[in-house]
Structure 1
C-alpha cells in the first residue's frame, strides 16, 4: 500500500507540479484537493484505510482556509503531519501555523530540494512518533485493540469477541499458528481490561529449562536449591494486580501443570523452599500453537488444567486468512525499518503487494516482517518491487488463476475525437482582462495539460510538446 500524500491547493498547476515532483523523486501516490472542504472530505473517506500519511496544505483557499483545515485535522486526525505551503510573507502566519501543529512552513516559490527534504522529514517524524507512542502504550500496559493493524479489517470479528473477554477476569486461551501475534493480542486484551496500566508479564513456557520451570513461575527462597543465591518472587508475583501471559503453555511439563492448576483453583503460589503459600491477584491469559485436545488425549497435558485454561477461547486467524491487512502491515514494517536503519526506501509498490498477497505465509506476520526486512536490503529503488521479495519457500505461493481481459477498441470518429478529447485541452492566450498571458504561464499550463492528457506519463508528455524529458523536468522544478 504505497504511501499517499494529500495536496490541498486551489492552484491546479501548482498542485500538479508538486505531485509530479513527489511521484518522480520519491515514488509516492498523490491525492489532490482544490479547497479545504474537499480535503477534509477526502480525509474522512480515508479514515478506515488511513493510507494518507501526509498533507501539504495551502493557507489561502476558498470555502475553508488552511488554518481552519489544520484545526480540524488536529482534532480529528491527531498526529497526522501537515506541511503548510503558502505565498504569504507574513511571519505571524508561520507562527500561527506551527502553534496549530504544522510540521513545517514553506513560502512559495519553494525549491524542489526543499520540498523533498521537508516531506521526508515529516514522514520520518510521523513514523517515529507512532512507534514511540506504541512502545509507551506497550510499556505502560495500555495497548488497545485499536492499536492493532487490521482491527477493523481481518481481525474485526475476533476483536469484537475479545472485547467481551477484556471486560472480565475470565481465564482466556489464545490459539493460532506460530507468528500470528498472540502476545500482542494478549497485551491488547490486558490494555482494554480493568487491569490496564498494571504489570503485564509475558512468559515463554517452552523456553524455560524443565528443572527451572517451578522456580521461574512461582519463585524460590534463598538456598532452596543449588545456585539459588538470592530470593526470587517469580513471574506470578511480578504480575501482581495485572496479567500474566503464558505463551506456549502446552510445553509445560506435567509436574508444573499440577502447580499451575493450584494457582487457578486457589489463587495462590508456593515458592520453592518456602513451605507456605502466598496469595496472588493475577489474570491468566495463555496461548499455544498446539492442539491441546490432542495433547490431552495423548496424556501430555492434564485435562483438568485444559478445562481451567480454556474457559474463553480466542482463535486468531492466520495471515493468509486476512490478506486484506497485508498492505497495511507491509507499509508499517517498511516505515519502521526505514527510520531505524535510515533508509531511503519509503514503501511497497503495488506489484510487490500483489506478490505478497499471493503467498500463503506459513510463518504468518513474523515471516512477513522478516521477508520485508530482507527485501529492503535487496532493494535499489525508493520502493520495494516484486523482484526484491524472496520467499523462504516458493512452493507456498498461492496459484492465481489467469484472467483474460477482453479488449474493446474504442469507437473513434473525427467529431467525437475533436469534441471529447481536444476541447478540454485548449489554451487561451488572453487572461480575464483581455491581456496576453506571460509566456511562462502559458508554458506551465501546457505542461500541466500534457501531463493530465497522458495520465502522468512524463515521457509521453514531453514528447507531445516536442521537448526533451530532462528539459521538461527542469522547467517543472523551476515552476515550483
Structure 2
C-alpha cells in the first residue's frame, strides 16, 4: 500500500497547491512548513507512513540541502523530489549529490510532478525489497535470495549468474517496476566486486544540461555556478559497480563519452585538463527496446 507524500515548503500558497495536486493524483498528503518539522516526522514514529518527500530547497532555517544531508546522515531512505524557483546549475548538482531523487522547477506542471512521484514510488518499492532481502543476507544480495515461479525469471537468473562471473558491461531490459535493480545488485553480490560500492543513477531524473557533471564530475569554475569541484558518479563507483537506470534517456552526446569511459576506463570531468582513471563494472537498465530504436 502506498504511503503518504510529505510536502515541505515554507510558502503557504505552494503548500496548498501541492497538497491539492497530490490529493488529485490519489495520494494522501502530510504538510509541514520547514525542514526541522520534516525531520521530526521522518525520524519519528510516523516515518513509515511517508513514501515520498516533496522538498523545497530554499527555506529559512534548515533548508532543503540541510534536510537532504540530515536524511543521509540518519539513514532515512525516502525518495526526495526537490523543487525551487531558483534553478541554478550548482543548486541542482548539490541536491543530486546529496541524494535527491528528482528535481523540478517551480511552478512544476501537474504531469511532470505526477510522473516524478510515480517514478519515486517505484524506486521506493524496489529499494524496500532490496533492503529486506539484503538484511536476510547480512547486507549482501545474491541470486540465491531471489525466489521465482516462472521459467522466464529462471532464465534471467541463469543469465545473471553467468554475467556475474565476468566483468563485461550488462544491459537489463524490462518494464518499470519488475525488479531490474534487484537483478543488478544480485550480479554485484555474486561477483568479485561484492564488497565494493554500488552506485545508482536514475538517468531519466537528471536535467540534460547536468548529465555530464553528475556522471563525470566537474572542476571548480568550469561553468557558471560551479563553485566547488564535483567528482561524479563514475569516480564514486571506482572499484565497484555503477548502475545506470533508464540509460536510454541519456542525450546522444553523453552516450559517446560513456562509451569512452567503458572502453578506456577514463572519464573527462567538465572543465578538466586531464582524464581520470576509473575501474568500474557498468550495469545499465531500460524499459525501452534500444535495439529497435537504433534501426
TM-score bucket of the superposed structures, by smaller chain: 0.5 to 0.7
Counterparts of 1:134 and 1:149, CA distance in 2: 11
> SS of 1:224's equivalent?
coil
Residue 132 of structure 1: how far off its partner (Å): 6.6
Whether the aligned pair in 2 keeps the contact of 1:222 and 1:230 (CA below 8 Å) is yes
Aligned length: 167
| TM-fit CA distance, 1:163 | 0.5
2:282 counterpart residue number:
284
Q: Is 1:207 paired with 2:194? A: no
Does the CA-based 8 Å contact 2:217-2:233 persist in structure 1? Answer: yes
Following superposition, the deviation at residue 296 of structure 1 comes to 1.3
Distance 1:153 1:275, change over 3 A: same
1:161 aligns with 2:159: yes
SS in 2 for 1:258: helix
Q: Deviations along 1:46-96, whole A, 9 cap, x unmatched?
A: xxxxxxxxxxxxxxxxxxxxxxxxxxxxxxxxxxxxxxxxxxxxxxxxxxx
* TM-score using structure 2 length: 0.53
DSSP 3-state at the match of 2:186: helix
Instruction: Give the TM-score, by structure 1 length.
Output: 0.33
**Which protein is richer in helix relative to its size?**
1
Shift of 1:159: 0.8
User: Is 2:162 the counterpart of 1:170?
Assistant: no
How has the CA–CA distance of structure 1 residues 163 and 232 changed in structure 2, closer, same or farther, with 3 Å as cutoff? Answer: same
Question: Does the 8 Å contact 1:171/1:285 carry over to 2?
Answer: yes
1:256 paired with 2:254, answer yes
How far apart are the structure 2 equivalents of 1:249 and 1:131?
A: 21
- Quote the offset at 1:135 in angstroms: 4.3
In the alignment, the residues of structure 2 paired with residue 170 and residue 287 of structure 1 have an alpha-carbon distance, to the nearest angstrom, of 14
> Which of the residues 177, 180, 187 maps onto 2:178?
180
> Does structure 1 conserve the Cα–Cα contact (< 8 Å) formed by 2:246 and 2:285?
yes
Greater Rg, structure 1 or structure 2? Answer: 1
- 1:149 corresponds to which residue? 147
Paired with 1:247 and 1:132, the residues of 2 have a C-alpha distance of 18
For residues 152 and 146 of structure 1, the distance between their equivalents in structure 2, rounded to whole angstroms, comes to 15
For residues 432-475 of structure 1, give each alpha carbon's deviation from its aligned partner in whole angstroms, at most 9, with x where no partner exists: xxxxxxxxxxxxxxxxxxxxxxxxxxxxxxxxxxxxxxxxxxxx
2-structure distance, mates of 1:212, 1:139: 36
CA distance in 2, matches of 1:214, 1:273: 11
Aligned to 1:134: 133
What are the superposed Cα offsets for residues 23-63 of structure 1, whole Å, 9 maximum, x if unpaired?
Answer: xxxxxxxxxxxxxxxxxxxxxxxxxxxxxxxxxxxxxxxxx
Please report how far the alpha carbon of residue 184 of structure 1 lies from its aligned counterpart in structure 2 after TM superposition.
Answer: 1.0
User: Aligned pair in 2 of structure 1 residues 163, 207: CA closer, same or farther (>3 Å)?
Assistant: same
Deviations 1:323-354 (A, max 9, x none): xxxxxxxxxxxxxxxxxxxxxxxxxxxxxxxx
1:52-201 residue pairs with structure 2 within 5 A? 134-136=133-135, 140=139, 142-150=140-148, 155-201=153-199
- How far apart are the structure 1 equivalents of 2:182 and 2:171? 14
Cα distance change, pair 139–216 in 1 and its aligned pair in 2 (3 A): farther
Measured in 2, the distance between the counterparts of 1:200 and 1:139 equals 16
CA distance in 2, matches of 1:181, 1:156: 14
2:160·2:183 contact (CA, 8 Å) conserved in 1? no
Which among 235, 238, 251 is matched to residue 237 of structure 1? Answer: 235
SS at match of 1:155: helix
What is the RMSD computed on CA atoms of the aligned residues?
A: 2.3
Counterpart Cα distance in 1 of 2:163 and 2:278: 20
List alignment gaps of at least 5 residues for structure 1. Answer: 1-129, 298-480
Q: Distance in 2 between matches of 1:268 and 1:251?
A: 22
State the shift of 1:167 in Å.
0.5
1:200-252 deviation digits (Å, cap 9, x = unpaired): 01111111100000000001111211222211110000001000011111111
| Structure 1 residue 149: Cα displacement | 3.2
Q: CA deviation at 1:143?
A: 0.9
